[in-house]
């Protein structure tokens, strides 16, 4: 058990270091002078030299990488160039809407996806199963930004039910302003939830213990809710944890569409202004969330299912 944990955590640490290295290399090893690109063509050589010194870009690369990693670890990744503000406070101001949006998307995907998956798994090949498959395929093929636009047109501009853009804090305000993007985000994730849950439920439903329960005369409802769901939920959680990167990507786009002041739109602003320190930090943070969540999902699975930790290498 400990052995597995240690190995799995070791991989996560390597991944995190890799993330930092890639983000760092992207910006420091690119051809051309990042400072020049950042300041624009009209910058004088003195300005470029001053900015280079201020950002520490004149120090040896190993040194720079060390202080970059240290900055991330100590929660003080430095100063933003465009916003003239510490990156840490920039991000912490904007993290809440992004976090809530991701949660909203997850809730929508689970609340809509679970019944769809359960009913299609109980009667595979039936009309409901086919309908669900068609629905999730369509939902998957919808570009999130386009669906967001269409829903905003319908519910915001025509029906005036929900705000079209922006973010209001407070419980009701947040719910109202995050509903449209949350639904769109959830729908894009739906296909993953439904397929994984349906597949793992099918696997359990054909197991011998289910047949034994049927023979005892238990209702399908009881079998599904009491026994099948319990064993089928875990793979879905793992898949969701792994796909949190997909959710983060969706948030970046949707925050832009609905003009929500979250980390995604901050990343976008930073890219537009070539604010490299901010881009670096957000990229590593986003990657770290994915790494940590999939680590937790794997550990949880190992705790619950001894086959994982006793089996051969799974990673």
Partner 1 sequence: MAPADGAALAPRVRGTRRFRIRRPQVVIGEAIVFVIVLAAFLAPVIAPYPPNTVNVADALAPPSTAHLMGTDYVGRDVFSRVLYGAREDIVVVVLITYIGLTIGVLVGTVAGYFGGWFDAIVGRIADTAIAFPFIVLVLAIIAVVGPGIEGIAIGIIAVGWALYARLARSEMLSLKEESFMLATKALGYTHRRAILRHALPNLIRTCLVYSTVDVVVNLLVLAGLSYLGVGQQQPGADLGSIIASGQPYILTAWWISTMPGLVLVLFGIGVSLIGEGFTESELTVSTL
**Contact footprint for partner 1 (CB under 8 A):** 11, 14-15, 18-19, 21-23, 26-27, 30, 34, 133, 137-138, 140-146, 149-150, 153, 157, 245-246, 248-250, 252-253, 256, 267-268, 270-271, 274, 276, 279-280, 282-283, 286-287, 290-291, 294
Q: Shortest gap between Cβ of 8 and partner 1 (angstroms)?
A: 12
Q: Shortest gap between Cβ of 214 and partner 1 (angstroms)?
A: 22
Identify which of residues 29 and 172 has a Cβ nearer to partner 1 in the complex.
29
Identify which of residues 104 and 213 has a Cβ nearer to partner 1 in the complex.
104
Identify which of residues 43 and 175 has a Cβ nearer to partner 1 in the complex.
43
Q: Measuring CA to CA, which residue among 180, 148, 145 is closest to residue 162?
A: 180
Identify which of residues 178 and 290 has a Cβ nearer to partner 1 in the complex.
290
Instruction: Give the rounded distance of the alpha carbon of 95 from its chain centre.
Output: 13
Is there a contact between 117 and 201 (Cβ–Cβ < 8 Å)?
yes
Residue 42's SS3 state is coil
Identify which of residues 12 and 232 has a Cβ nearer to partner 1 in the complex.
12
Q: Shortest gap between Cβ of 221 and partner 1 (angstroms)?
A: 27
Q: Shortest gap between Cβ of 127 and partner 1 (angstroms)?
A: 14
- Helix, strand and coil content of the chain, in percent to the nearest 5, comes to 80, 0, 20
Q: Shortest gap between Cβ of 209 and partner 1 (angstroms)?
A: 20
How far apart (Å, rounded) are the C-alpha atoms in residues 273 and 262?
Answer: 17
How far apart (Å, rounded) are the C-alpha atoms in residues 191 and 209?
Answer: 28
- Structure tokens that stand for 225 in this block: 């809710």
Q: Shortest gap between Cβ of 180 and partner 1 (angstroms)?
A: 14
How far apart (Å, rounded) are the C-alpha atoms in residues 12 and 10?
Answer: 5
How far apart (Å, rounded) are the C-alpha atoms in residues 24 and 110?
Answer: 36
Identify which of residues 229 and 290 has a Cβ nearer to partner 1 in the complex.
290
């Amino acid at each position: 058990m400990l052995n597995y944990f240690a190995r799995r955590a070791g991989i996560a640490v390597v991944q995190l270091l890799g993330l930092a290295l890639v983000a760092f290399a992207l910006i420091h090893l690119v051809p051309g002078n990042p400072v020049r690109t950042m300041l624009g063509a009209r910058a004088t050589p003195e300005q470029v030299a001053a900015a280079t010194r201020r950002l520490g870009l004149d120090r040896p690369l190993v040194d720079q990488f060390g202080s970059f990693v240290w900055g991330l670890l100590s929660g003080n990744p430095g100063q933003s160039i465009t916003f003239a503000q510490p990156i840490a406070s920039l991000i912490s101001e904007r993290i809440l809407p992004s976090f809530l949006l991701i949660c909203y998307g997850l809730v929508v995907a689970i609340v809509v996806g679970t019944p769809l998956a359960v009913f299609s798994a109980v009667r595979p090949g039936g009309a409901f199963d086919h309908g669900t498959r068609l629905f999730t395929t369509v939902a998957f093929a919808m570009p999130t930004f386009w669906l967001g636009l269409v829903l905003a047109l319908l519910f915001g501009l025509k029906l005036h039910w929900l705000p079209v853009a922006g973010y209001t804090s407070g419980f009701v305000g947040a719910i109202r302003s995050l509903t449209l993007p949350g639904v769109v985000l959830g729908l894009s994730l739906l296909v993953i939830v439904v397929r994984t849950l349906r597949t793992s439920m099918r696997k359990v439903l054909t197991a011998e213990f289910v047949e034994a329960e049927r023979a005892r005369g238990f209702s399908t409802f009881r079998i599904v809710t009491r026994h099948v769901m319990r064993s089928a939920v875990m793979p879905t959680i793992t898949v969701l944890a792994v796909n949190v990167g997909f959710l983060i990507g969706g948030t970046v786009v949707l925050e832009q569409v609905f003009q929500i002041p979250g980390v995604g739109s901050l990343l976008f602003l930073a890219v537009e202004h070539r604010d490299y320190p901010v881009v670096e930090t957000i990229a590593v943070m986003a990657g770290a969330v994915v790494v940590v969540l999939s680590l937790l999902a794997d550990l949880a699975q190992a705790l619950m299912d001894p086959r994982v930790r006793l089996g051969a290498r799974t990673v």
